[in-house]
Amino acid sequence: MDPVAQPRPRKPRADAQKNRERLIEAAKEVLGPGGPEASMEAVAKRAGVGIGTLYRHFPNRQALFHAVFSRELDHLVALSEGLEGSNDPVEAIRGWLHGNVAMVETKRGMLGALSIVITEESMQAYGELKGRITASVDRLLVQAAEAGQIREGVTAEDLLQTMYALCYARAPGPDWREHVLKMLDIFVDGLKA
């Protein structure tokens, strides 16, 4: 055996990985609506773990916010790539936009904390995920246009800009999501050929 060889990092234990996943999900529920000032104790309590377990996984609030935001982007990538080849591309586009609204709802509450810790490395990772999403949604749009279901020339960037405009045009409130989804449905119906 090579004496200078580095030991292989071991995989996290199953219970540790489960706790991490529960913390990320709890953070999404607590920090999204609660914003950057939401209680870390509330996150731990919602996840059913102690505050020490939270800080073992996420040494600070920003690390937790990044984990939540990265998870949301991963879900959007999986959603967009999973919708490719759909028999009903217009409904696939609608479903993808609806999935985005949940991510925006989470992100709205975390914007203050995320802006503090955005680094070149994190922007590159987010950029790569956004590139995959954009390429996948552009393929959906081309499929829908070729099938004569939507007008030609619509891009993923058009969808994103419209969705963000609708999401941020309305102040947060109990009916925010319902209103945004209604407006997005009107928008998608307007794309039809």
pLDDT of residue 36: 63
pTM of the predicted protein model: 0.69
Distance, in Å, from the CA atom of 2 to the CA atom of 5, rounded to the nearest integer, reads 5
152-190 pLDDT tens trace = 999 999 998 898 889 888 887 888 889 999 999 999 999
With a cut of 80, say whether residue 124 has pLDDT above it. no
Q: Token pair for residue 163?
A: 């969705």
With a cut of 80, say whether residue 126 has pLDDT above it. no
Q: What percentage of the chain exceeds 90 in pLDDT?
A: 30
Which DSSP symbol is given to 192? B
pLDDT of residue 191: 92
Mean pLDDT score across all residues of the chain: 81
With a cut of 60, say whether residue 115 has pLDDT above it. no
Q: Token pair for residue 43?
A: 């996150």
Listed by start position, the domains of the chain span: 12-59, 61-191
90 within 8 A of 150, measured Cβ to Cβ: yes
Write down the architecture of domain 61-191 according to CATH. Orthogonal Bundle (1.10)
Say how far residue 163 (Cα) sits from the centre of its chain. 14
pLDDT of residue 158: 92
Helical residues (DSSP H) of the chain, grouped into ranges: 14-34, 40-47, 51-57, 61-83, 89-117, 120-146, 156-169, 176-191
pLDDT of residue 127: 77
pLDDT of residue 72: 80
pLDDT of residue 168: 82
Q: Which of 63-67, 113-117, 161-165 has the lowest mean pLDDT?
A: 113-117
**Closest CA relative to residue 57, chosen from 34, 33, 25, 29:** 25
Distance, in Å, from the CA atom of 27 to the CA atom of 3, rounded to the nearest integer, reads 43
Topology match between the domains 12-59 and 61-191: no
pLDDT of residue 78: 86
Length of the chain: 193
Top mean pLDDT of 10-19, 117-126, 165-174 is at: 165-174
Distance, in Å, from the CA atom of 11 to the CA atom of 20, rounded to the nearest integer, reads 13
Q: Higher model confidence: residue 49 or residue 115? A: 49
Fold entry, domain 12-59 = Arc Repressor Mutant, subunit A (1.10.10)
Distance, in Å, from the CA atom of 113 to the CA atom of 36, rounded to the nearest integer, reads 5
13 within 8 A of 47, measured Cβ to Cβ: no
Distance, in Å, from the CA atom of 187 to the CA atom of 169, rounded to the nearest integer, reads 15
For 133, other C-beta atoms within 10 Å of its C-beta total 21
Q: Indicate the angle between helix axes 120-146 and 61-83, nearest 10 degrees.
A: 20
With a cut of 50, say whether residue 26 has pLDDT above it. yes
